[in-house]
Structure 1
Amino acid sequence: MEKAKINASELVALMLLFEIGSAVVVGLGMQAKQDAWMAILIGMAAGFILFLIYDYLYRHHSSLSLIGYLQIILGKWVGRAVAFLYIVYFFYIAARVLRDFGALLLSSTLPLTPMLVVNMIMMLAAVYACSLGIEALGRASEIFLSIVLMLAVLAIFLLTASGVIHWEHLKPPLEHGWKPVLQTVFPQTMTFPFGEIVAFSMLLPYLNNPLHARRLGLVAILISGLILSFIIAVNISVLTAYNAENSTFPLLRTIGKIRLAGFIERLEAIAIVTLIIGGFFKITIFYYAAVKGAHELFQVGTRKELALWLGLPLLVSSEIIADGYTEHIDIGLKLVPLYLHLPFQAGIPLLLLIITWVRKGYYPTSR
């Protein structure tokens, strides 16, 4: 592992940008209609539980990364096989987020630009960030988080001043009962974005004070959950639940409603800048987790060399994972949460936790 450390504020900034990422722009949890904000909060609560599992495994195995303690808990060969699957998972999700990023820019501002060109620019930025290391990424996250927060405050102020926020669109709460909300939570909002924090099981060993990992992680999940819930509530209040659900990028459409003083309008750039920053950090952290995992597992080359070698496959993967954006979103909302997110975010970590508890019971002094 590279000899690098990040402090508490850098870890929180990385987690916030990662959690917000692409989730702030797409219609998260809109299957619950006007109760989408509630589905996000319940998903956040599930995210707390998942992170406590990741933190326990991290603490119990001498602050190793996921790749390290998989081989300890499951044995060398089974552990290495599962570790390889996690590397593929991290890589695949990085490619999916890269595709999300390209699709938004093409549909909003660059309709005549090939997606390959847009994705290649972001891929090169992610590769460069990975080559610089986690310390550089952590320092950059604090700067970019402040930019995102300032843009968010500005957007809320302008929307309020424009008089387009109508909170009555959130009524009636629980019109169809709890069933639509819970069906949206499990598995969607629980796994995206909160369960994706599993990628940080590869980054927690870099924290300069491991004892703070649990508190910092829970705080980051809480803040990101409240931010996402509030933004979705604003989207519904401005657009109505029906329009927000049927918008590809509801935040973009919400910001487009700003009309103030006869000349302050067409501020969609606020949403686009937010996506670029959040998308960059989400892609980079998933990609970094894949690169670091491959380096730990196979012990070939250096981390910087692997970051360069895997850049082109990442770009190609983002192009071929779906024939079009509709198929891409359909796979992302229906298949990925059930068949990828749940096993890798909840199923396998829960199994690791049970095995650890059983061994601790048989060998209480082994820790």
Structure 2
Amino acid sequence: MMYTEKISGLQLFYLMAGYVLGTAIILGLGLKSKQDAWIFILVGMSGSLILMAVFTQLASYYPGDSLVEMLPKIIGKFLSYPVILLYILHFTYSAARAGRELGDLIVTTILSETPIFVVIASFMVLMIYCLRGGVEAFARMAEIVFPIYIFSLILIWILLFSVDQFDIKNLTPILGNGLVPVLKDAFPTAINFPFGETIVIMMLFPHLGNSKHARRIGMSIILVGGLLLTVNSIMMISVLGPEIYSRDIFSLLSATQMVSVADFLERFDALVILMMVAGVFFKVGAFTFAAAVGISQLLRLKQTRSVCLGLGSIIPPLSLVTASSFVEHIEFGFKYYVTYVHTILQIILPILFLCIAFIRKKWGQR
């Protein structure tokens, strides 16, 4: 497949950093770890740097190939078909999950009378309109949205300092139960979500203008995303306290609702909702694009536009079919999907592919 559309390193960075923050910044991470949630995130980030090294090494072994194109070269034609299908299903379902999280947040906060399907479907129409313009249009959109997203996030953090309940002592005792429980919680969950999901970058690498910078961009995405999520969890715990933080699904929203500057400036939760829409834009967009490219390459299609359209009509119903309530959606996600499916597709298989690719390269040279 010819990759005529090219994006710059900075565009890829904006796109993927926004993708890492995506839904993770709104949904509290490391809830079980309570006041040690920020350590939980740092552990996940450290493990994910190794994972990103695996992704970028594979990309350097097969320059110009996406994940779908390199698999037949690594594990052979027949073995690769079921594996490619698994990845396409994973990307499609993950896009549906992110859409569901956006729908639930918007329906519970600002559009309580609107059916959730209408919210998700409307968002999906905009998403497909953007993706039909190709990866360049998507990357340019990220270039506009990401700086606004970061500005909103920093503004919320500054406002949180004004909350009466803000107390940095909420972070103590640090590692009160020792390091082992945090490590048990963090492996593999913290690596899988949201960092492990950056496997999508392997579908974007072929579009990168200068592939020499792939590793540097990949590592900086994990570092910047991880540090922003760490600071965010410290702010949330300082405002809400570890007990509320561990039970609240939308912790950033709850904390922001407590902001009241001189009883005059209030209701900053609209800013959080705006951030959620922007974050889901990165997440759903990248997953949908990866699935569309995967399907096109598997079926040897010349374009992805019609595939995007098909995915756009599948994702909204899929997001609602998989769980009857939001609690069930979150429970299934973290108990089964992230723990098992993510571990296999995002950690075990890529490491296995790298080992096989390494042996093939050495063998080929001999």
How far did residue 114 of structure 1 move? 0.5
| Equivalent residue, structure 2, for 1:69 | 70
Query: Which moves more between the two structures, 177-186 or 41-50?
Result: 177-186
Contact 1:39 1:184 in 2 (8 A): yes
| Equivalent residue, structure 2, for 1:290 | 291
| Equivalent residue, structure 2, for 1:39 | 40
Contact 1:28 1:232 in 2 (8 A): yes
For 2:89, the aligned partner's letter is V
Partners of 2:251 and 2:63 in 1: how far apart? Answer: 44
| Equivalent residue, structure 1, for 2:230 | 229
| Equivalent residue, structure 2, for 1:299 | 300
Match status 1:119 vs 2:120? yes
Gaps of 5+ in 1: none
Match status 1:146 vs 2:147? yes
3-state SS in 1 of match to 2:29: coil
| Equivalent residue, structure 2, for 1:271 | 272
How far did residue 63 of structure 1 move? 2.6
- Correspondence 1:5-84 to 2 at 5 A: 5-84=6-85
Partners of 1:32 and 1:262 in 2: how far apart? Answer: 34
Query: Which moves more between the two structures, 344-353 or 354-363?
Result: 354-363
How far did residue 338 of structure 1 move? 2.0
Contact 2:163 2:239 in 1 (8 A): no
Partners of 1:302 and 1:15 in 2: how far apart? Answer: 23
Partners of 1:181 and 1:318 in 2: how far apart? Answer: 31
Q: How many residues in Structure 1 have an aligned counterpart in Structure 2?
A: 365
3-state SS in 2 of match to 1:260: coil
Contact 2:160 2:235 in 1 (8 A): no
How far did residue 301 of structure 1 move? 6.2
Partners of 2:302 and 2:111 in 1: how far apart? Answer: 37
| Equivalent residue, structure 2, for 1:308 | 309
Contact 1:31 1:180 in 2 (8 A): no
3-state SS in 2 of match to 1:132: coil
Contact 2:92 2:311 in 1 (8 A): no
Contact 2:6 2:136 in 1 (8 A): yes
Query: Which moves more between the two structures, 178-187 or 9-18?
Result: 178-187
Per-residue CA distance 1:179-231 (angstroms, 9 max, x = gap): 22112211211100000000111001110000101001101110110000110
| Equivalent residue, structure 2, for 1:190 | 191
| Equivalent residue, structure 2, for 1:204 | 205
Contact 1:101 1:119 in 2 (8 A): yes
Partners of 1:201 and 1:301 in 2: how far apart? Answer: 20
How far did residue 109 of structure 1 move? 1.3
Gaps of 5+ in 2: none
How far did residue 163 of structure 1 move? 4.2
Contact 1:26 1:250 in 2 (8 A): yes
Partners of 1:351 and 1:245 in 2: how far apart? Answer: 35
| Equivalent residue, structure 1, for 2:361 | 360
Contact 1:17 1:281 in 2 (8 A): yes
3-state SS in 1 of match to 2:132: helix
Partners of 1:7 and 1:302 in 2: how far apart? Answer: 22
| Equivalent residue, structure 2, for 1:336 | 337
3-state SS in 1 of match to 2:26: coil
CA RMSD of aligned residues (A): 1.2
Contact 1:164 1:258 in 2 (8 A): no
Query: Which moves more between the two structures, 18-27 or 2-11?
Result: 2-11
For 1:51, the aligned partner's letter is M
Contact 1:65 1:203 in 2 (8 A): yes
- Correspondence 1:160-171 to 2 at 5 A: 160-171=161-172
Partners of 2:90 and 2:154 in 1: how far apart? Answer: 35
Partners of 2:297 and 2:191 in 1: how far apart? Answer: 29
- Correspondence 1:99-110 to 2 at 5 A: 99-110=100-111
Partners of 2:42 and 2:254 in 1: how far apart? Answer: 23
TM-score normalised per structure 1:
0.97
3-state SS in 2 of match to 1:4: coil
Contact 2:131 2:289 in 1 (8 A): yes
Contact 2:66 2:205 in 1 (8 A): yes
Partners of 1:351 and 1:85 in 2: how far apart? Answer: 16
Partners of 1:364 and 1:301 in 2: how far apart? Answer: 33
Partners of 2:213 and 2:322 in 1: how far apart? Answer: 38
Per-residue CA distance 1:34-86 (angstroms, 9 max, x = gap): 00001101101111111110111111013310001101111111112211111
3-state SS in 1 of match to 2:188: helix
TM-score normalised per structure 2:
0.97
Contact 2:252 2:272 in 1 (8 A): yes
For 1:104, the aligned partner's letter is L
Query: Which moves more between the two structures, 180-189 or 320-329?
Result: 180-189
3-state SS in 1 of match to 2:25: coil
For 2:134, the aligned partner's letter is G
